[in-house]
Amino acid sequence: MKSRLSKVLDKMPKDKIELAKVELGLADDIKQAVKEMKTISEKMKTNADKAENLFQRVNAENKKLQQKAENIKKDGTKKYFKAEKAFKELGIDMPSEFEKLVNDLYDTDISSYISNNKNVFPK
């Protein structure tokens, strides 16, 4: 005995049956694509979270290092002015190397490695 579905399918034209199978196959393909997209999206979120955590740690460390560098710059500047005063008291010209050194203190880039952004990725 044939099942009820088999009887119905036997009465339908063959081209409509094939079309229904194709449509069902396409729906399955789309479901699989959605599943893959969700998996990719979850992986991207995981990667973004890892990058965000790393960004926050590195940026915090660089801010601490920037403050340390600013203190070194202030200390170096004080020493420069102390040396300048000592040379004046001795009545001799201060060697140009001192000025070059203090300029190097100010020319050393310490601000390019700090981000003022709160996050890497939009939340």
The structural domains of the chain, with segments of one domain joined by +, span 12-107
Q: Residue 43's pLDDT is what?
A: 97
Q: Which two tokens stand for residue 123?
A: 């939340």
pTM of the model: 0.63
pLDDT in tens, 37-91: 999 999 999 999 999 999 999 999 999 999 999 999 999 999 999 999 999 999 9
Euclidean distance between the first and the last CA atom of the chain, given in angstroms as a whole number: 62
Q: Which residue has the tokens 């979120």?
A: 45
